[in-house]
A and B are shown apart, each in its own frame.
Chain A
Amino acid sequence: MKKTKKIFGALSLALLLGLIVGCGSGEDKNSTDSGNKGTTDLQKIKDAGVIKVGVKEDVPNFGYMNPDTNKNEGMEPDIARLIAKELTGSEENVEFVGVTAKTRGPLLDNGELDMVIATFTITDERKETYNFTTPYYKDEVGFLVRKADKFTDTASLDGKTIGVVQSATTKEAIEKQAKELGVTFKYQELGSYPELKTALTSKRIDAFSVDKSILTGYVDDSTEILKDGFSPQEYGIATKKANTELNDQLNKSIEKWEKDGTLEKIYKTWNLD
């Protein structure tokens, strides 16, 4: 009995050491390859023949999972398909993964996604953690309110509770605007846009705030979008910090499509003008 215990203890210790060493050497490989990592990643995508893209699935016209057809629809999946065609030759070689404002960053970091095109606003703070391409769309922050409350503009929401989604740039934008106007708000941070819409309907929040184009997907008979808009939001495609080659490639594609009107056509398809 004592002997088996000793053997078991020794085996588990060896296994543990092996795991630690294995993970450690993995890190070393990363550090020595950091010079070539960019090329390797872009080449890896071309070799694999598939690009893994993170898109939103709950934003009509931008990135939406249609429950009837079970396909990703919207401006961003369309752009992703064009990119897949550029890199691998066919629009079908794209694997969509649904993301939220919360998960889009971490999934890039751990390598599950090659790129993220999910209403990701470019900010200087974020640029320290991810690569962003030149913007492919410009939008501004707005408010969705209940018609019955008869709010008129941002200042009329003084002292009210604003619902925002976690990880979005919305809260900072609103705080800046509030300071300029000399009003104060209370905030509720929830996890997703549908949750915020439900909270608005149950009167848990007085206004649901995010980029205006995202709001258009949630308007209904009892709600309206305030005319006020502020804080221009530029969306860019995000890639892992080390992946500079892919970033340059994507930059070139976006600039090309902006010039030749492909982006305009996509905007028109989804009523985003």
Chain B
Amino acid sequence: MFIIANSGPFALYRWEALLKDWRLFGDAFLYTILLAVGSLIVAMLLGIFFGSLSAMHNKLLNLISRIYVEFFQNTPLLIQFIVVYYGFPLISPMLTFSTTTIAIICVGLYHGAYISEVVRSGIGAVPKGQFEAAYSQGFSYGKTMRYVVLPQAWRIMLPPLTNQIVNLIKNTSTVAIISGADVMFTANSWSSINLNYIPAFALAGFLYFILCFPLAKLARKLEENNKKAYTR
């Protein structure tokens, strides 16, 4: 234990250096939050849109949704980043996007595919009887979805949805590969200059944890409330 305190990768002076530079990590934390919120909005919009497409009974719409989902689920996020960052400008100078834009769009597209699957299975899990009962009462398709099906589907979708959101937050760290100043990149960059890599990455892990854990707790609370709403 005494060896750890004075020299080596766990040395005390390295942790003190971390404390001195906390502002750097604070800015990076805000940047990560910005990326997370931005890509979450994109992913949710895309996910709900494509999810409802595949829940309809139109073969063409189903096909469009399928292509989108299969493409983005089966290619690694990292490769998507690299292709858009390095490859697109080679095709045309107009396709040169900023690092932040690339991060939000790529992570949003990637998780949009997963969220659309969650939406589709949520809608599919509502018993067919609900649709039939609503039609028999004179509801149109749109009104059926809005008043009868989606409220029930939402309860089913919540656990996998929060799973995807937590994954999304962690995946924003991929922007480090294209030099975006988020938590992962700052930990990397700061520790490579002064070689304090243990404190840097410990802090980075901790920051991601405090970002994801409250979300998971909130989701579980919502789930409990929803359960109570539908059972007596």
Contacts and interface: CB of A to CB of B under 8 A. Distances in A.
A172 B193 contact: yes
A191 B177 contact: yes
A27 B1 contact: yes
Interface size class of chain A, counting residues whose CB lies under 8 Å from the partner chain: 20 to 34
Contacts of B38: none
B22 to A, nearest CB: 20
Contacts of A198: 86
Given A105-B195, A202-B89, A189 B179 contact: yes
Interface string B194-226: 110100000000000000000000000000000
B1 A129 contact: no
Contacts, number: 54
Given A166-B188, A190-B179, A27 B4 contact: yes
Interface string A197-215: 0110111100000000000
B192 interface: yes
B90 interface: yes
Interface string A24-58: 10010011001000000000000000000000000
A239 B185 CA distance: 27
Interface in B7-47: 7-9
Q: Which of A31, A201, A202, A204 has the most C-beta atoms of chain B within 10 angstroms of its own C-beta?
A: A202
Contacts of B197: 105-106
Interface size class of chain B, counting residues whose CB lies under 8 Å from the partner chain: 20 to 34
B89 A166 contact: no
B90 A201 contact: yes
Contact of B189 (A30, A166, A199, A202): A166
A101 interface: yes
Nearest to A30: B3
B195 A202 contact: no
Nearest to A31: B3
A105 B196 CA distance: 11
Nearest to A110: B9
Interface in B169-203: 177-179, 185, 188-189, 192-195, 197
A171 B189 CA distance: 11
Contacts of A126: 195
B76 interface: no
B85 interface: yes
A172 B193 CA distance: 9
A202 B86 CA distance: 6
Contacts of B179: 188-190
Nearest to A161: B179
Contacts of B85: 202, 204
Interface in A179-194: 188-191
A202 B90 contact: yes
B2 interface: yes
A85 interface: no
Nearest 8 Cβ contacts at the A-B interface: A167-B192, A202-B89, A188-B179, A31-B3, A166-B192, A198-B86, A129-B195, A202-B86
16 contacts: A30-B3, A34-B3, A105-B197, A106-B197, A129-B195, A188-B179, A189-B179, A189-B185, A190-B177, A190-B178, A190-B179, A195-B86, A199-B86, A202-B87, A203-B96, A204-B86
Interface of B: 1-4, 7-9, 85-87, 89-90, 93, 96, 177-179, 185, 188-189, 192-195, 197
